[in-house]
């Protein structure tokens, strides 16, 4: 993979290798590649898990008793999906602090190593027929490890990409984080579709589903090799400089007239002295909450259209497994196609108009999209175009989103702050998407629940996005 093309707007034609807050000079494209590689592996696994949710429910969560609610195993599979997301805030704090204190490289190397190990072990995990009741608990444990790693991955990768981006290209470089998410989801869906096409159902449910998970091992080792070649972080305590040579004796200098003494500063009122200015961590906490509000629509719409869609189409609309995978692939293609153009556009016109357009588009079009998919009279090309458009609207949010978050936090807390905002939004509005949509659809019988969920949260997110400054994309990172 190579870096993005030349700058879209006039400006300095090139920039010397930037130096991050805790690292030595890193060439921009090298930082871009190292940051994006881990994202690809992470989201490849999430895509595989989403596509095989019905298979995993059958192998790990089917209790094998009569009279059981048929939706219970799928709900349990989505609950384990949500567990990983609820561990992401803890991972953002743990690995974010490591990245902010020791440098981006150590945190990113540790994250990708643990993520690769956990994903590979899922592919080797004994199912319920072999390990009994321990099987689902072992799966949940590995999902928790993945959640910790995913929480640390985003903050470190986005900080690495945006801090080393050339002038005027921060949106474009940050968009590569989302673009590799789309590539990972597409690769996961493609691996699942290829496995389902080549194997009969008995083999697919028996052992074939493990193959895409095991493919994460060579992918993760490749990403690990890219990250271990990044320059070492600068030591936190600079080495002492050698003592200067003694200066030669100089002639006496005539005495100077004394400088005028300025008037003393006014003494603060004792009543106001007990109410100091807010500490930096309070400002960071407020920025995290605001960041969650700005990206919650992105989180909800992304997982509704790109990850939850296969199981929804099967369980609600009666689509076959292969038809659901084709639909998901089309939505992810539209998502991938719009991310980089959206990031480049946000470098020209700002993050606010591009992200607002995406949020409002989802809010207005989510319900008509589901009605079109359910209508048997709608031609297949029209449904394909609608799925491509649905993915593209999410790309309008995901393209400028990483740079927007990076611009909200100073370098000393950037990995922790933006990682925590992203992790909290994903834990609440993405990790629970499959659980909420499936449970509400089963309880109400209303097939429009996914549209209400994604569209409603995007409408709320648009309110938070409206408060973005129009010139944040032009200034330097704090």
**Cα–Cα distance measured from residue 191 to residue 46, given in angstroms and rounded to the nearest whole number:** 12
CA 347 – CA 345 distance, rounded (Å):
5
Structure tokens at 454: 């994604």
Euclidean distance between CA atoms 474 and 169, whole angstroms: 10
DSSP calls for 61-126: I----TT--TTHHHHHHHHHHHHHHHTHHHHHHHHHHHHHHH-HHHHHHHHHHHHHHHHHHHHH--
Q: How far apart are CA 353 and CA 372, in angstroms?
A: 28
CA atoms within 13 A on the CB side of 60: 30
pLDDT of amino acid 238: 41
Closest residue by Cα to residue 299 from 408, 411, 436, 116: 436
Compute the distance between CA of residue 42 and CA of residue 48 in angstroms, rounded to an integer: 10
* pLDDT, averaged in runs of 10, over the chain (478 residues): 42 43 61 83 82 80 56 67 78 88 86 90 88 85 87 85 84 89 83 87 87 90 85 46 52 52 46 40 78 91 79 72 78 90 92 93 90 81 88 92 90 88 86 76 83 92 87 68
Domains within the chain, CATH numbers bracketed = 24-234+280-465 (1.20.1250.20)
Q: Can you tell me the distance from the alpha carbon of 216 to that of 219, in angstroms, rounded to the nearest whole number? A: 5
Note the helical H segments in 125-266: 128-131, 134-163, 170-198, 201-203, 210-214, 216-228
- Angle, CA 97 vertex, CA 95 and CA 103 arms, to 5°: 85
CA dihedral for 131, 136, 140, 143, sign (positive or negative) = positive
Please report how the helices 449-465 and 433-444 are oriented relative to each other, as an axis angle in degrees rounded to 10: 130
Q: Phi and psi (nearest 5°) for 258?
A: -65, 140
Rounded to an integer, what is the distance from CA 299 to the centroid of its chain?
A: 9
pLDDT at 15: 41
Look at residue 387 in the predicted model and tell me its pLDDT: 87
Whole-number Å distance between alpha carbons of 80 and 137: 9
Query: In whole angstroms, what is the distance from residue 454 CA to residue 436 CA?
Result: 11
Of the candidates 282, 332, 8, 357, which has an alpha carbon nearest to the alpha carbon of residue 178? 332
Judging by DSSP bridges, how do beta strands 18-19 and 25-26 pair with one another? antiparallel
Q: Give the per-residue pLDDT at 86.
A: 80
Q: Which two tokens stand for residue 58?
A: 């059958």
Instruction: Supply the pLDDT for residue 400.
Output: 92
């Amino acid at each position: 993979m190579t870096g993005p093309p030349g700058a879209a707007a006039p400006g300095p034609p090139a920039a010397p290798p930037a130096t991050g807050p805790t690292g030595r000079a890193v060439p921009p494209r090298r930082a871009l590649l190292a940051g994006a590689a881990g994202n690809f592996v992470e989201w490849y696994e999430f895509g595989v898990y989403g596509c095989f949710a019905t298979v995993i429910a059958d192998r790990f969560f089917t209790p094998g008793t009569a009279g059981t609610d048929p939706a219970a195993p799928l709900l349990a599979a989505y609950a384990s999906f949500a567990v990983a997301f609820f561990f992401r805030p803890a991972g953002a704090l743990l690995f974010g602090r490591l990245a902010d204190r020791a440098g981006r490289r150590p945190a990113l190397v540790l994250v990708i190593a643990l993520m690769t190990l956990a994903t590979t072990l899922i592919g080797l995990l004994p199912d319920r027929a072999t390990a009994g009741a321990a099987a689902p608990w072992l799966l949940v444990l590995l999902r928790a490890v993945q959640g910790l790693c995913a929480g640390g991955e985003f903050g470190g990768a986005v900080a690495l990409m945006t801090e080393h981006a050339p002038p005027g290209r921060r949106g474009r470089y940050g968009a590569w984080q989302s673009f590799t998410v789309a590539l990972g989801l597409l690769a996961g869906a493609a691996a699942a579709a290829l496995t389902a096409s080549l194997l009969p159902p008995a083999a697919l449910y028996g052992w074939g589903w493990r193959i895409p998970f095991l493919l994460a091992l060579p992918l993760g080792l490749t990403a690990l090799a890219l990250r271990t070649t990044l320059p070492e972080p600068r030591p936190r305590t600079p080495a002492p400089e050698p003592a200067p040579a003694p200066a030669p004796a100089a002639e006496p200098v005539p005495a100077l007239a004394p400088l005028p003494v300025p008037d003393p500063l006014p003494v603060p009122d004792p009543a106001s002295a007990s109410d100091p200015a807010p500490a930096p961590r309070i400002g960071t906490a407020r920025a995290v909450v605001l960041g969650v509000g700005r990206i919650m629509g992105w989180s909800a719409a992304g997982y509704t259209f790109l990850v939850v869609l296969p199981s929804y189409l099967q369980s609600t609309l009666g689509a076959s497994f292969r038809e659901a995978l084709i639909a998901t692939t089309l939505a992810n293609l539209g998502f991938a196609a719009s991310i980089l153009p959206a990031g480049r556009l946000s470098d020209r016109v700002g993050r606010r108009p591009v992200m607002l357009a995406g949020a409002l588009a989802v809010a207005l079009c989510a319900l008509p999209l589901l009605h079109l998919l359910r209508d048997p009279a709608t031609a297949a090309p029209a449904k394909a175009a609608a799925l491509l458009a649905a993915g593209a609207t999410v790309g309008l949010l995901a393209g400028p989103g990483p740079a927007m978050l990076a611009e909200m936090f100073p370098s000393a807390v950037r990995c922790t702050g933006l990682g925590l905002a992203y992790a909290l939004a994903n834990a609440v509005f993405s990790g629970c998407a499959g659980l909420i949509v499936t449970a509400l659809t089963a309880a109400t019988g209303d097939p429009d629940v996914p549209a209400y969920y994604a569209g409603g949260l995007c409408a709320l997110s648009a309110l938070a996005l409206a408060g973005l400054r129009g010139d944040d994309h032009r200034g330097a990172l704090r």
